Amino acid sequence: MAMLEVENIHSYYGNIHALKGISLTVEEGEIVTLIGGNGAGKTTTLRSITGILKPRQGHVRLEGEELAPYKPHQIVYKGVAMVPEGRRIFARLSVSENLDMGAYSRNSKSEIKADLERVFELFPRLKERRNQVGGTLSGGEQQMLATGRALMAHPRLLLMDEPSMGLAPVLVESIFEKITEINKEGTTILLVEQNALMALSIANRGYVLQTGEIILHDTAEALRTNEVVRKAYLGIT
Partner 1 sequence: MNVRLASREGLLTGFINLCCILLGLTGLAGTMVGGWFHLSSRQPGAWLLLLGIAVWGGVRAVRRVPDPSRNKTLIAGLVAGVMHGLTLAVSLWLISTLLDAGAEVRKWLVQLTPEAIRLLTFGLSPVAAAALMFVVMTTAGLVGALWVRASERYPWQRTLSKGPTTVRTRFLALPAVQNFMQRKHSQQILWGGGLLILLFFPFVLGQYWNYTLGTVGIYVILGLGLNIVVGFAGLLDLGYVAFFAIGAYIVAILTAPAPHGIMMNFWLVVPIGIVLAALAGVLLGIPVLRMRGDYLAIVTLGFGEIIRILSKSDALTDFTGGPRGIRSVGGPGLFGFDVSSEFYFMYIIILGIVLAAYVTLHLQQSRVGRAWMAMREDEDVAQAVGIYTLQYKLLAFATGAALAGFSGVIFASRNKFTGPEDFTLLVSINVLCLVIIGGMGSIPGVVAGALVLKGLPEILRQLADYRMLAFGALLILMMIVRPEGLWPSTRRQMELHERAEQSGEPDAGSSPETGP
The count of residues interacting with partner 1 (CB under 8 A) is 35
Single residue of 41, 55, 134, 212 touching partner 1 by CB under 8 A? 134
Single residue of 40, 67, 82, 189 touching partner 1 by CB under 8 A? 82
126 near 141, Cβ under 8 Å? yes
Angle at 191 between CA 188 and CA 193, to 5 degrees: 170
Single residue of 33, 50, 188, 226 touching partner 1 by CB under 8 A? 50
Among 26-34, 128-136, 209-217, 226-234, the segment contacting partner 1 (CB under 8 A)? 128-136
Q: Which is nearer to partner 1, 36 or 155 (CB)?
A: 155
CB of 63 to partner 1, least distance (A): 18
Q: Could you say whether residue 39 binds partner 1 (CB under 8 A)?
A: no
The residue type at 226: N
Phi, psi of 4 (to 5 degrees): -130, 135
Among 3-11, 18-26, 91-99, 211-219, the segment contacting partner 1 (CB under 8 A)? 91-99
Q: Could you say whether residue 119 binds partner 1 (CB under 8 A)?
A: no
Q: Which is nearer to partner 1, 148 or 206 (CB)?
A: 148
Give the Cα separation of 184 and 181 in Å (integer): 5
Helix (H, G, I), strand (E, B) or coil at 38: coil
Helix (H, G, I), strand (E, B) or coil at 151: helix
154 near 119, Cβ under 8 Å? no
Which of the 8 DSSP states describes residue 94? B
Q: CA nearest 166: which of 234, 86, 91?
A: 86
Q: How many CB atoms are located within 10 Å of the residue 104 CB? A: 12
List of residues 6+ apart from 97 with CB closer than 8 A: 90
Radius of gyration of the chain (CA): 17
Among 80-88, 168-176, 195-203, 219-227, the segment contacting partner 1 (CB under 8 A)? 80-88
Among 15-23, 34-42, 129-137, 185-193, the segment contacting partner 1 (CB under 8 A)? 129-137
Residues 146-185 that bind partner 1 (CB under 8 A): 149, 153, 166
Q: Which is nearer to partner 1, 90 or 176 (CB)?
A: 90
Binding residues for partner 1, rule: CB under 8 A, are 50, 52, 71-74, 76-77, 81-82, 84, 86-93, 97, 100-102, 104-105, 133-136, 138-139, 142, 149, 153, 166
